[in-house]
Amino acid sequence: MRPDLRGVRVAVVGGDARELILAKHLAQLGAQVLVMGLPVDNCGVVYCSGNEELHDVDAVILPVPGITEHGVIYSAFPEQPPIAAEQVLSRLPSGIPVFVGVARSLLKEIASRRGLRLIEVLNLDEVAILNSIPSAEGAIQMAMEHLPITIHGSRALVLGFGRTGMTLARMLKALNAHVSVAARRPAHLARIEEMGMCPLTYEELPQAVEGVDVIFNTVPALILTGKLLERISPSTLIIDLASAPGGTDFVGARRRGIKAILAPGLPGKVAPQTAGQILARVIPRLLAQEVAR
Ligand code: NAP
């Protein structure tokens, strides 16, 4: 059912192509949408130039990456004036929901000080699972660009079997790669075997990494340590999808001559339209629920 957002006043502040799609969709659902830091055409959305217009909004949507380490709200549009998060959040009524993809500690601190309800949408399964599709496609695209061989027939190792690792492993298998997946839960190891791939425990990695063509890391912890890298051939490509700083000892990899790439934010880079549609599918319903509270 389409959520009815008539009477809801929501500000979309900063972002990229994804938030443009979302802002237009919110307007189509009847919300009164104010935008800052995004270029808008006449699509039912009102451009908001000053913070004072934010004092009576029901909710705020910040960009997927949230804010920079300097407290500026992320915007992919350099012609838009920079917007300080503190300046915007200080204008908001206390207790209102603030949606963001992932929140840095600085944003969490500001939100908590201002009494705002921070909702990190990339942590929600329904978003993370759908986002895993462009993430996996983007990771495989990178592997195709950097490897001298096809994915078909390659020996691929996926570290982690969560929302991203599972999708990635399945796509690699569908492309006829020889796929091994490292996981720590026995149920996951059983599922990996059921899917026709080679299950590995982390203790087995030192032997398993030898002779692998490409390693995709999805574990947000240091897994590819300097010690493990010593077992990896310099011809192996590492694509690290885990959130910064990733799960690879990048200095150690460089020292060993191994190409290791940290690949953040793939959905927004490789498929911004799909990524925007995912937000447009999920956020209006969450917004309606939050406003009804
Ligand atoms: P997830 O569903 O929570 O999966 C994480 C996986 O890592 C699980 O298999 C988990 O194992 C494993 N894990 C966590 N800590 C571990 C540790 N200390 N040792 C061994 N295994 C560990 O997360 P996700 O949604 O797949 O996302 C994974 C990472 O990718 C996150 O950092 C996320 O921010 C990032 N990400 C990046 C992109 C991109 O574009 N680069 C896109 C999506 C996600 P258990 O199940 O046993 O806990």
Q: Reply yes or no on whether the pLDDT at 176 is more than 90.
A: yes
Give the CA count within 13 Å in the CB-facing half-sphere of 204. Answer: 13
Quote the ligand 1 centre to 242 CA distance (angstroms): 6
- Which tens digits make up the pLDDT trace of 21-74? 999 999 999 999 999 999 877 666 776 666 667 888 999 999 999 999 899 999
pLDDT of residue 47: 65
159 Cα: distance to centroid of ligand 1 (angstroms): 9
Q: Express each pLDDT in 184-193 by its tens digit.
A: 999 999 999 9
**Window from 42-56, 126-140, 166-180 with minimum mean pLDDT:** 42-56
DSSP one-letter code for 48: -
Residue 112 scores a pLDDT above 70 = yes
pLDDT of residue 262: 98
**If you count them, how many residues does the chain have?**
293
Q: Tell me, in angstroms, the distance from the centre of ligand 1 to residue 124's CA.
A: 13
Q: Can you tell me the distance from the alpha carbon of 63 to that of 16, in angstroms, rounded to the nearest whole number?
A: 7
Residue 77 CB neighbour total at 10 angstroms:
14
The pLDDT value given to residue 43 = 60
| Whether 22 contacts 280, CB under 8 Å | yes
Residue 185 CB less than 6 A away from ligand 1? yes
Q: Residue 217 Cα, ligand 1 centroid: separation in angstroms?
A: 9
User: In this structure, what are the phi and psi dihedrals at residue 213, rounded to the nearest 5 degrees?
Assistant: -85, -40
C-alpha 68 – ligand 1 centre gap (Å)? 22
Residue 101: name the closest of 22, 218, 10 by CA.
22
Which residue is closest in CA terms to ligand 1's atom 29? 242
Report DSSP letters for 56-75, one per residue. T-SEEE--TT-B-TTSBBPB
Q: Whose CA is nearest to atom 27 of ligand 1?
A: 164
* Structure-token pair, residue 56: 């009576």
How many beta carbons lie within 10 A of that of residue 199, not counting itself? 19
Query: What token pair was written down for 132?
Result: 């895993």
pLDDT of residue 40: 79
The chain-wide mean pLDDT, for the chain, equals 94
Is pLDDT of 247 > 90? yes
The answer to whether 273 touches 22, Cβ cutoff 8 Å, is no
The label of the residue with tokens 């009815």 reads: 4
190 CB less than 6 Å from ligand 1? no
Picking from 44, 57, 51, the residue whose alpha carbon sits closest to that of residue 81 is 51
The residue to mutate among 219, 225, 269, 279, having the most atoms of ligand 1 within 8 angstroms of its beta carbon, is 219
CA torsion angle 212 225 266 99 (round to 10): 150
- The CA 164 to ligand 1 mean position distance, Å, reads 7
- Digit-coded pLDDT (tens) for 210-223: 999 999 999 999 99
Please tell me the predicted confidence (pLDDT) of residue 292.
Answer: 86
For residues 242-265, give the mean pLDDT: 97
Atom of ligand 1 nearest to the CA of 243: 32
Q: What percent of the chain has a predicted confidence (pLDDT) above 70?
A: 97
CB count in 10 Å sphere of residue 119: 19
Q: Ligand 1 in contact with 265 (CB < 6 A)?
A: yes
- Inter-CA distances, 234 with 14, 136, 180, 212, Å: 41, 23, 19, 10
Which whole number is the average pLDDT over 249-275? 97
| pLDDT score at 74 | 94
Q: Which atom of ligand 1 is nearest to the CA of 241?
A: 41
Element (H, E) at 239: strand 237-240
Ligand 1 lined by 130 (C-beta under 6 Å): no
Pick from 123, 217, 218, 228 the residue to mutate for probing ligand 1's pocket: most ligand atoms within 8 Å of its CB.
Answer: 218
264 Cβ below 6 A of ligand 1: yes
Ligand 1 in reach of 133 Cβ (< 6 A): no
- Which pLDDT score is estimated for 133? 98
Distance 165 CA to ligand 1 centre (A): 7
Distance from C-alpha of 39 to C-alpha of 74, rounded to nearest angstrom: 14
